[in-house]
Structure 1
Amino acid sequence: NAWVVPGYTETRELGAGAGGRVVLAVHDATGTPVAVKYLGERLRSDGAFVHGFRSEARVLGSLDSPYVVGFYEYVEAPPGAAIVMELVDGVALRALLSREGATGPEAALVVLKGSLLGLAAAHRAGVVHRDYKPENVLVAADGSSKLVDFGIATGRDSRPGVAGTPAYMAPEQWNGAPASPAADVYAATATFFECLTGRKPFAGDNFAELALQHLEAPVPDGEAPEPLRPLIRRGLAKAPHERPENAAAFVGELESVATAAYGPDWEERGRGRLAALAALLPLLFPSSGGTARGTTALATTTFARPGAPRLRRRFPRGLPAGAAALVLALLLALAARAGGGEPDGDRAAQAFATTDTASSASPPDPRTSSPPA
């Protein structure tokens, strides 16, 4: 008897958790397969969760990049709230690292480049992700990747409090400094290091030890291949002003280093390597009909007051059902806090997201309006 977003036919449930559930559905008017994420019923009365959910929808709706999960529609009605998202057939980077360990340098460079391009789109829109990590990168069957989960994203220079995932938090994040694109660069580089070495750059038995490592320990660039050490040193610099100022600036440095070290075909080989690694996990592909456990893509979305208008983007016409492959994000993750109180905005609902390379969001429908503030 659960509420269903009007205009969609559900196929099956992809996953469920405390924050809500995600279902595979088809858009009735076009036959486009989509993932519909529903806010958990018990959370709809919590204003903080609702506010965070709305913010997530607004951020996703403002971004237009092939490296960021697409946004189709956000709906709220008295019985429930939901967000309809783009889909991709693939697995989370975390699943690849857990199964295979280090990816190799060229594949790691491809992951970093794709992630930086996705982050660059957010930075141009004035958004700082704040929770970049392997769980939030989806690798498609062709070796391409998409960035997901803007659940704790915030505006540049805002002070939303300490939030993020400790293993990837920049030193300034531990201190509650204003959000900046340089913090996203740090997290992307920490993930790049993990792709290269099979382990996180810093470790600790508790938050205090981990914080001290990020704040004071030398950058472990010696564990990376020699040609790539300058990227590690730059991206993991302790001071924000010593890192590239944003993701777009880091892309240029990456391409120069990668071409000098591995030749002009490094990206093609890296994508092939990622595709091969993803192919080793066939049961994690939703196109297999199974449940893609271990692929995570957090998202929070909020919805307006009951009866609020829908915010949508048009679906592509003529796309047959089944043409778009699915990837789902099942795992709920908690944004770790490093001491202090937890602002309301940081208690946003942690729900699921899915993505798909086969279809892309179209321009917003001018007949509908934006989510209310």
Structure 2
Amino acid sequence: MSGWQLSGYTPVRQLGAGASGSVVLATHDPTGTPVAIKYLVRDIGDDPSFRTAFREEARLLGAIDDPHVSRLYEYVESADGAAIVMELVNGVSLRQMLRAHGPTTPESALCVLKGSLAGLAAAHAHGVVHRDYKPENVLVTGDGLSKLADFGIAVPIGQGTGTTVSGTPRYMAPEQWTGAPASPACDIYAATATFFECLTGRPPYQGRDLLTLREQHASAPIPTDPAPVPVHDLLRHGMAKQPGDRPQPAQVFLAVLDQTAGEAYGPEWEERGLRELARRAALLAALWPFPDGSSGATSLASSVLGADPGGAPPRRGLVHRGRKRTALVGGALVAALLVGGAGYRYAAHDDPAGAAGAAGPPGSAGPAPSGPPATGPTAVPASTPAPSLSATGTPPATPGGTPTRTGSAAPTASTVRTSAPAPTPTTSTSPPPPPDVTAPVVGAVGGDPGELVPDGCPYGYRTSTISVTATDDRTGPAALKVTFRYALAGSSSTVAMSPVGRGGFQGTLGPLPKPAKSSRLLIQVTAVDAAGNTATSASPAYVTLYADCPIG
């Protein structure tokens, strides 16, 4: 641990090293809190565009403070270098656990999914989409609790459009392959794909090249076997091909999960699941930052982005983590592809067959085969060049958001290309935008109040506010046509809804005429974007209309 060191922290030992820098276990001097500090190598840290990217991401992620998310404490710049301070989680990654012990019990898999959905819900509530959820980025503590880590390629909801996409192919939602803007639905898909891997020991799709994987995610049947039958519906809903068919927001999926787990495995399912996860994590205690079991993460105030604090305690303000696209943190396979399948290019570590996974624990034989192979279709002829694309490989992540040790002190990434036929040359300097084929994303519907009286009654509620969230990759809220529909006395009615707040829409149900008998009205929402793509609400609402007026 030579060279510039961040003042205000006492280094303990090095946790890992990679091409972009080294990771050090340290303690915060004023509080004694253990942290992980990532020191950037000078040629990366001195790049102005690189530091600008860090600042932007700090503003994006600084507000997320949730027990299911590994916190980002501080990004510090000085004339001598740059460093990131991260929460140190005492435990192991889900990838290490699956590699060492194989599939989990159904209760444990449900616990992992529940904790992950809670962490994703916190991120989505702050307008952030993770985009790279996978076993490497889920950390399991000695108590069996799971934390979501490594927001290296996270973006604000609705951003990320263009001709390139980022993520790990084995867990990417169908729309993520097309360059569609980031939405919470893609995180829900990846979390469910990882849930399948916890249950079965393998990813849901195992194509040996990017083209095959893309086709499998887009059109192959959603796998449910050999997962237990009680969770098949969770898999089918969470990995639905259309984003609007997945339970949204994440809290909706959480409610469905709790109900399913309770009915299938009894009221104590979560206690059993956490106990088993803790047991498995304890078997890998030698890989923990604190093998003796002492706590590795306590509350630490986030600090302001700026110069070396000079030993002062962290101040409230911005926090930060580096981006994978600049080879800083995490083990994602960052796949770059032309929208429409013109070409693919991705970076892998020394074992291309394991590119989608992280390096194993120290001394392990290496990652299990889970990524595209080193070879693929014939490269595009030089006489017909495809537009240039790039991707960056990055060191894998360990507990606390730090890279795992690999067989080499400074692993390097080797670029592997597989290509489809190049597009026909045109006079345009860039390929035309693809047609809009992505339907809007519509969440669950709510009705408040849920009980109405007929029009003319002197007491009781005669109208109900129907609310829903709806977003689209290209159409803004003002141009998005959102309506709700209900049926009463054999006839259907449609009511327009208006945008309110961020992605929200509301409409009014009622007043309604007196029915022949009390009726339970099903309320379903439809959203249509500017291109005519249509989506229906993931979950309807029900409003009861009574036949008689209440007395007093």
Q: For 1:56-135, what aligned pairs fall within 5 Å after superposition?
A: 56-135=57-136
SS at match of 1:85: strand
Give the distance between the partners of 2:227 and 2:280, measured in 1 at CA. Answer: 20
Change (3 A) 1:157 1:167: same
1:229 to 229, 232, 235: 232
Equivalences for residues 321-340 of structure 1 within 5 A: 332-340=330-338
Q: Does 1:159 align with 2:160?
A: yes
CA contact (8 A) 1:7 1:27 kept: yes
Structure 1: how far apart are the matches of 2:228 and 2:94? 20
1:280 and 1:306 map into 2 onto residues whose CA distance is 41
Partners of 2:269 and 2:396 lie apart in 1 by: 36
State which of 225, 234, 239 in structure 1 corresponds to 2:242: 239
| Among 172, 191, 205, the residue aligned to 2:194 | 191
What residue identity is the alignment partner of 2:29? D
Contact kept? 1:35, 1:354, Cα under 8 Å: no
Instruction: Map Cα deviations across residues 27-80 of structure 1 (whole Å, 9 max, x no partner).
Output: 112222211112222212334433333344334421010000123322111111
1:282-314, Cα deviation, whole Å (9 max, x unpaired) = 21112128xxxxxxxxxxxxx978789999456
Opposite residue 155 of structure 1, the aligned amino acid is: P
Structure with the bigger RCO (C-alpha within 8 Å, sep 6+) is: 1
User: Tell me, which stretches of 5 or more residues in structure 1 are unaligned?
Assistant: 290-302, 315-329, 357-373
Contact 1:106 1:269 in 2 (8 A): yes
Q: CA-to-partner distance for each residue in 1:121-178, whole Å, 9 max, x for gaps?
A: 0000000000000000000001001110001000111134400000000000000011
Instruction: Say whether residues 1:251 and 2:254 are aligned partners.
Output: yes
Deviations 1:219-273 (A, max 9, x none): 0113211110000000010000000123222111111101110111110000001
Q: Pick one of 214, 219, 228 that aligns with 2:217.
A: 214
**1:137 lines up with 2:135 in the alignment:** no
The structure whose residues are more often strand, as a share, is 2
- CA distance, structure 1, for counterparts of residue 263 and residue 231 of structure 2: 10
CA contact (8 A) 1:162 1:175 kept: yes
Larger radius of gyration: 2
Secondary structure in 2 matching 1:287: coil
Partner of 2:406: none
Residue type at the aligned position of 2:258: E
SS at match of 1:57: helix
Structure 1 residues 331 and 96: alpha-carbon distance in aligned structure 2, compared to 1, 3 A threshold: farther
Once structures 1 and 2 are overlaid, which stretch shifts more, 51-60 or 274-283?
51-60
Contact 1:21 1:352 in 2 (8 A): no
1:2–1:87 CA distance, 2 compared to 1 (3 A): same
Q: For the residues of structure 2 that align with 1:181 and 1:138, how far apart are their CA atoms?
A: 20
Q: Which runs of 5+ in 2 are unaligned?
A: 293-303, 317-327, 339-386, 402-552
| TM-score between the two structures when normalised by the length of structure 1 | 0.81
Aligned residue among 385, 400, 405 for 1:355: 400
1:31 corresponds to: 32
Cα distance change, pair 47–168 in 1 and its aligned pair in 2 (3 A): farther
Quick one: structure 1 residues 136 and 129, their matched pair in 2 at CA, closer, same or farther if it must change by over 3 Å?
same
Q: CA RMSD in A?
A: 2.9
Tell me if 1:172 matches 2:175.
yes
Alpha-carbon distance between aligned partners in 2 of 1:60 and 1:349, rounded to the nearest angstrom: 20
The 1-side partners of 2:183 and 2:329 are apart by: 27
Structure 2 CA distance, aligned partners of 1:249 and 1:107? 20
More helix by share: 1
Moved more, 2-11 or 102-111: 2-11
Q: 1:305 to 1:312 in 2, by over 3 A?
A: closer
Residues 158/137 of structure 1: CA separation in 2 closer, same or farther (3 Å cut): same
Cα 1:83–1:215 shift into 2, 3 Å:
same
- Equivalent position SS for 2:46: coil
When structure 1 is superposed on structure 2, of 46-55 and 130-139 the one drifting more is 46-55
Distance 1:209 1:188 in 2: 21
CA contact 1:8–1:28 (8 Å) conserved in 2 = yes
Query: 1:204: how far off?
Result: 0.8
Which AA in structure 1 matches 2:117? L
What is aligned with 1:370?
none
Aligned-pair distance for 1:179?
A: 0.6
TM-score after normalising by structure 2: 0.55
Query: What is the Cα deviation at residue 354 of structure 1?
Result: 5.0
User: Which of 261, 264, 284 is 2:264 aligned to?
Assistant: 261
In 1, the alpha carbon distance for the partners of 2:209 and 2:74 equals 40
Check conservation: 2:329, 2:395, Cα contact below 8 A.
Answer: no
CA separation in 1, counterparts of 2:154 and 2:191? Answer: 15
Between the aligned partners of 2:394 and 2:97, the Cα distance in structure 1 is 26
Matches within 5 A, 1:295-306: none
Asked whether 1:287 is paired with 2:332, we answer: no
1:180-239 deviation line (CA, Å, top 9, x unaligned): 000000000000000001110001111001111101100011321111000000001000
